[in-house]
Amino acid sequence: MTVDILGQRAGRPAAAAHGDGAGIDLLGTVSIVVQRSRTELRAGKVRAMVATLALEAGRTVSHDELSEELWPGEILRNPRNALQAHATRIRRILDCCAERARAELPLRAVSNGYVLDIPREFVDGNRFLDHTARAVALLTDDPSRARDLLQAGLALWNGPALLHTRTGRRCQGAAALLEERRLGASEDLVSARLLLGEERQAIAELQRLVASHPTRERLCELLMLALYRAGRQSEALHLFHRTRVRLDEELGVQPGRSLQRLYGHILAQHAILESPDAVLRVRRESAAG
């Protein structure tokens, strides 16, 4: 079973891509993509309405929910008329794109709202979540396949999630979730690389990630482990001390037990650091924390 952006379960695996058809992209600027041709939605309310409906692909979003998302905190005299006007504009765009793709992208009005009646896998955010969920399940037994799935999922991103649509709570929450899952997928990708003995590639990716997230302890642990395995013990120890200072200065906390334990193992050159369990333990303890 897989889980979509807002928690719906689905029994079928996601499509690999919509390269030969049509779909909605949320991992970057909200766009309609037809046969690899991207149509960005430039009108703010249209973009927000498409994003909100795509997050609930195949399910009804009520008039009240849409109004709150498009005009948060505002009181409109006739929100249904305003929504109808935006829906008309969206249908024109969708119909034009669907005609080119020889596919269907129907936006239907129902008694209490609207539904973007497309399969969940037409939305790139759902395909990303499906890829990463499958990869996590395979990480221990088939790290090579997990690596490939994570690379495919991360390749779907074209910028910050739901770019320029984060005025309403629904899009804000979905964007935060997707960004956190993106970072988690990056961590899982370097974990897969370490399990496969690809320390050099893992170090390059981890250095970039740690520079952007210097107080994220799982990233620091993975980079320390990768550096140690690459014969760079002094750099691994220096990273620990640098991280400890950053955690104290920025968050007022000390390194967690897992990070401190890894530091002790590196000092002692413990044999466990060369085992797959060293990588998997970082993930387990991070998830438990």
Alpha helices (H) in the chain, listed in sequence order: 44-55, 63-70, 79-101, 124-138, 143-154, 169-195, 199-212, 217-229, 233-246, 257-268, 276-288
pLDDT score recorded for residue 98: 72
Q: Which of 117, 51, 109, 47 is nearest to 84 (CA)?
A: 109
**What confidence category does residue 11 fall into, taking pLDDT thresholds of 50, 70 and 90?**
very low
pLDDT score recorded for residue 288: 62
As a dihedral over the C-alpha atoms of residue 82, residue 88, residue 89, residue 93, rounded to 10 degrees, the angle is 150
At 100, which amino acid appears? R
pLDDT at 82 over 80: yes
pLDDT score recorded for residue 289: 59
pLDDT score recorded for residue 6: 40
Predicted TM-score (pTM) of the model is: 0.88
pLDDT score recorded for residue 20: 53
Mean pLDDT confidence for 247-257? 95
Q: What is the pLDDT of residues 230-240, one digit of tens each?
A: 999 999 999 99
pLDDT at 222 over 60: yes
Mean pLDDT, the chain, rounded, equals 89
Question: What percent of the chain is modeled with pLDDT above 90?
Answer: 78
Q: What is the pLDDT of residues 130-166, one digit of tens each?
A: 999 999 999 999 999 999 999 999 999 999 999 999 8
The rounded distance, in Å, linking the Cα atoms of 178 and 131 is: 13
pLDDT score recorded for residue 166: 82
**What confidence category does residue 80 fall into, taking pLDDT thresholds of 50, 70 and 90?**
very high
pLDDT score recorded for residue 101: 61
Question: What percent of the chain is modeled with pLDDT above 70?
Answer: 90
Mean pLDDT confidence for 25-33? 94
The rounded distance, in Å, linking the Cα atoms of 45 and 50 is: 9
HEC profile of 74-140: CCCCCHHHHHHHHHHHHHHHHHHHHHHHCCCCCEEEECCEEEECCCHHHEHHHHHHHHHHHHHHHCC
